Structure 1
Amino acid sequence: MPSRLYAVLVGIDAYPPPIPRLAGCVNDVTAFAETLKGRTPAGTLELTMLTDGAATRAAVVEAISTQLGRASADDTALLYYSGHGSQQACPPELWAGEPDHRNETIVLVDSRQPGCWDLADKELATLLTGVAASGCHLLVVLDCCHSGGGTRDVEEDVRLAPEDPRRRPVGSFLPGVADAATGGPAPGAVRGLTARWGGPVGRHVLLAACRADEKAKEVTVLGAHRGALSAALETALRETDGLPTYRDVLRIVSAGVQRRVVEQHPQLEAVDPDELDEPFLGGAVSRTARLLTLSHLPDGWSIDAGAVHGVPEPIGDDTTELAVYPLTSETTGAPLATGAVTRVLPDRCLVALSRPLDEDYVYRAVVTSIPLQPLAVAVLGDEAGTATLRDAAGAADSTLIALVDDPTGADLLVEARPEGFVITRPGVTRPLVPTVAGTGRESRVVAALEHVARWVRLSGLHNPATRLPAGALRLTVTTPGGPAPPGSLVELSYAGENTPSFTLTITNTTDQTLWGALLDLTETYGVFTDAFPSGSVALGPGESTSVSLSGEVSDALWAAGTVAVTDQLKLVTSTLEFDPRSLQQDELDVRAVGSQTVLRGGTPPRSTLERLLTRATTRRLAPAQEEAVADWRTDEVLVRTARPPVT
């Protein structure tokens, strides 16, 4: 039987007088419920929602005990509370667990009615101990204040209920509270977090909206009131590609909260610190791709991806470009606006828009272009030779190569010698290609550098903000010895004179049609795109296609002493049809490179991806037209082919 997620979500806005009403708590739990429904496998979510009048003390206690109590050791339990927090005087019998003689409480809809009480921290601890006794993974999310002076939104609507002035007798607490608070018997209890709960509590993880002395604030998201923590948590789960750990979630949530409000620091606590490195909700939520969003912050418009996500710095006027759409819409039509990244920060980027947008809304952004760094080439050696090479480089494509004086940090080195030019990588003495000599050698060196630059650009090409998940098109490699482990180097070897063969299978794991193309980037700077007759292949949901390939060490390389080569097979996945065949280039041959003619960019790009791929390889590109916006990603597998020498 698959593991299940048992969830109890409590949100209260409609408190009766004299407790102040709230605005965003029901929105919080309603949105989180939708997130859970969209991120959990079918049939695994057991959800109980208690909002406003249904969120009585008795109903909440029953839901925790009964609903969450169903979770077994293989399951996950979640309690999510959004509402008022408060305090109350602690009975003398429970002072042992409360140095300040006060209980922290959550305020339920009937808490202040005659004969009813808030749910005190010690009561909640006792309930959680009972749930945790089964060994389930337990998460508690509290989007409320936990001490005096707290509010939950930027307009200072009070989110801290007035303290209950009544003297509460110890007999009004749930059974077992007195024993637990004084260290007495509590089945399955683990001592820890006494500052939060006032006594020992079962194993669990707690995500709290703020520190005990801070205010839990509320923000406006798409015109709706939301708790700052709840909004940031929903965003973190919606946008995270993969299964984030609790530490990952805290980092993303903290950044999200602190971008919007001040003096609020979400807190993550666990009885067992090792649990903080486990997947959020114990892995009960399934993988999804992150959604790139654009929002207006105090320093202007920005996207929520930055240097840590791989967004490159602008290169002169060349920068990351975006198409902007409504948050919930598809990206097949005309965008609301376009944007250009002006500054890359660690966790986000500042953006200039082509037209004004409503600053109260959050928008969806799609990367349409990224800056392509030219290859830095340092020229060394003979003074006369370096001068002629610099003159020849004046006609080079400056978007592909840039000559630099300092070899430190250069991608390639070119040394001018009397016999010709030697191209090497920094720190590697073996030449990249044979010495370039003879008539017209300067132009052939420049052409060779451009050839290598195109290869390097394609080799490193990736989309730092794709919404397509890893493995959207899954690559499976089968060799004569069986399937290769995912992500591993595929190793092949000749059997005598016979080239080794293998099969590469591509499977669409998503619920939409995707197009895939396979680029073979060889060790000698060739780029081959002939795996599919039309360049790319369309795969519907669940569909697969297979390609039979072989590894090869050419006779020329083998005769020259090369006994192994590595090919980089790069899978480009797109939401729109595209043709990569203009990227193809032969192996680098410095004897003929100056006379090679490679036609690129002859057909106007049909999508933003085709334009980007064309820009990676040529200076001859027509002005941008109105192109369809494609989301895309790249994945790769390395194949090493060995051809042992004859003994």
Structure 2
Amino acid sequence: MAKTALCIGINDYPGTANDLSGCINDAQDWADTLQARGFVVTCLLDSAATKAGMVTEMQQLIGQAQAGDSVIVTYSGHGTWVPDISGDEPDSRDEALCPYDINSGNALLDDEIHQLFAQRAAGVKIVLISDSCHSGTVIRWAGPSADTQGPRVRFLPPAVWLPAERLPRAANGETLARRETRGAQLGGMALAGGDLLMAGCADTEYSYDAYFSRRPNGAFTYFALKTLPTLAANATYADWYKAIRDYLPSSNYPQSPQLFGPRHSRCFKVLD
């Protein structure tokens, strides 16, 4: 059984005022953890993590995998949404990941991720771990933090990178990019294919870019990796999720991690 992983971390978003701090650390921490568990890991960091680069690496990992193989993709960076043109989203919005070149309009849509994952051979197990937001507005959280630097949410509003004429509007003319998002948890991102999706927050919440002992990390990634050594040898993703929820949400980080996938997939052994 082959085990491969792609770890993506993007701090630098050229052309925007929305750079992050902890995403490269996240990707490197995931990579170290996965390598220790026998995965062959590829990392895409900052300028390497363009949309084309992300798609190419996913295609290669999934295309080379055979029945019984395991593929894990971790993503740390901004999330966003775009107007749904396929008609498959109940809230009329496609969730998306934000590659390094998002300012050129290159969002990676949940529909596109679904198409990539659908190319896998039968019997290939895929897990997507996403430490990003898919709704809300970029703000500085005003509450206390684990260090002197305040947490920052990992969401890039469409108004930052979409041309004004593409922004959907309400009946009163207000762009929906300025309105609070509502809808099913993670919307289409939860349907992005693969066996499991672990996500840092619910659809109406923020995933936080924070500092722990003066080192930047995503709060979800930090606590996910903190709990990992405490698990039993044969712990499942459901067990891991339960352990993470002992830490999140919290007063410092009001985000509720999510686990999506069929019951049998939740019983997979963690990072195996």
- TM norm structure 1: 0.36
Change (3 A) 1:149 1:162: closer
Verify the 8 A CA contact 1:249 1:280 in the aligned structure 2: yes
Q: 1:120 aligns with which of 87, 109, 112?
A: 109
Matched, 1:211 2:179: no
Verify the 8 A CA contact 2:249 2:256 in the aligned structure 1: yes
Q: 1:198 offset after TM fit, Å?
A: 6.9
Amino acid at match of 1:135: G
Change (3 A) 1:223 1:64: same
Residue in structure 2 matched with residue 39 of structure 1 by the alignment:
37
Q: 2:80 aligns with which of 65, 75, 86?
A: 86
- Equivalences for 1:612-627 in 2 at 5 Å? none
Q: 1:258 offset after TM fit, Å?
A: 3.3
Q: Take 1:234 and 1:251, find their aligned partners in 2: how far apart are those partners?
A: 13
Residue in structure 2 matched with residue 278 of structure 1 by the alignment:
268
Matched, 1:159 2:150: no
Q: 1:274 offset after TM fit, Å?
A: 1.7
Q: 1:19 offset after TM fit, Å?
A: 4.7
Q: Take 1:127 and 1:196, find their aligned partners in 2: how far apart are those partners?
A: 18
Q: Take 1:158 and 1:199, find their aligned partners in 2: how far apart are those partners?
A: 20
Q: 1:99 offset after TM fit, Å?
A: 2.7
| Number of residue pairs matched by the alignment | 245
Amino acid at match of 1:83: G
Matched, 1:196 2:187: yes
SS for the counterpart of 1:130 is coil
Q: Take 2:139 and 2:200, find their aligned partners in 1: how far apart are those partners?
A: 11
Q: Deviations over 1:399-456 (max 9, x none)?
A: xxxxxxxxxxxxxxxxxxxxxxxxxxxxxxxxxxxxxxxxxxxxxxxxxxxxxxxxxx
Q: Take 2:30 and 2:48, find their aligned partners in 1: how far apart are those partners?
A: 18
Q: Take 2:245 and 2:37, find their aligned partners in 1: how far apart are those partners?
A: 22
In structure 1, the gaps of 5 or more residues are: 169-192, 285-647
- Equivalences for 1:120-139 in 2 at 5 Å? 120-131=109-120, 133-139=121-127
Q: Deviations over 1:555-596 (max 9, x none)?
A: xxxxxxxxxxxxxxxxxxxxxxxxxxxxxxxxxxxxxxxxxx
Q: 1:134 offset after TM fit, Å?
A: 3.0
Q: 1:201 offset after TM fit, Å?
A: 4.9
Q: Deviations over 1:440-473 (max 9, x none)?
A: xxxxxxxxxxxxxxxxxxxxxxxxxxxxxxxxxx
Change (3 A) 1:90 1:63: same
Q: Take 1:268 and 1:20, find their aligned partners in 2: how far apart are those partners?
A: 27
Which structure is larger by alpha-carbon Rg, 1 or 2? Answer: 1
- TM norm structure 2: 0.82
- Greater share of helix: 2
Residue in structure 2 matched with residue 236 of structure 1 by the alignment:
227
Amino acid at match of 1:275: S
Residue in structure 1 matched with residue 173 of structure 2 by the alignment:
none
Residue in structure 2 matched with residue 140 of structure 1 by the alignment:
128
Residue in structure 2 matched with residue 50 of structure 1 by the alignment:
44
Amino acid at match of 1:35: T
Q: Take 2:153 and 2:256, find their aligned partners in 1: how far apart are those partners?
A: 18
Verify the 8 A CA contact 1:20 1:158 in the aligned structure 2: no
Q: Take 1:49 and 1:260, find their aligned partners in 2: how far apart are those partners?
A: 32
Residue in structure 1 matched with residue 169 of structure 2 by the alignment:
none
Residue in structure 2 matched with residue 617 of structure 1 by the alignment:
none
Q: 1:160 offset after TM fit, Å?
A: 1.1
Amino acid at match of 1:26: I
Q: Take 1:214 and 1:26, find their aligned partners in 2: how far apart are those partners?
A: 22
Structure ranking higher on relative contact order (CA contacts 8 Å, 6+ apart): 2
Q: Take 1:262 and 1:194, find their aligned partners in 2: how far apart are those partners?
A: 18
Verify the 8 A CA contact 1:68 1:78 in the aligned structure 2: no
Matched, 1:68 2:46: no
Q: 1:257 offset after TM fit, Å?
A: 2.8
Q: Deviations over 1:196-234 (max 9, x none)?
A: 327965441010001000111133223201111101111
- Greater share of strand: 1
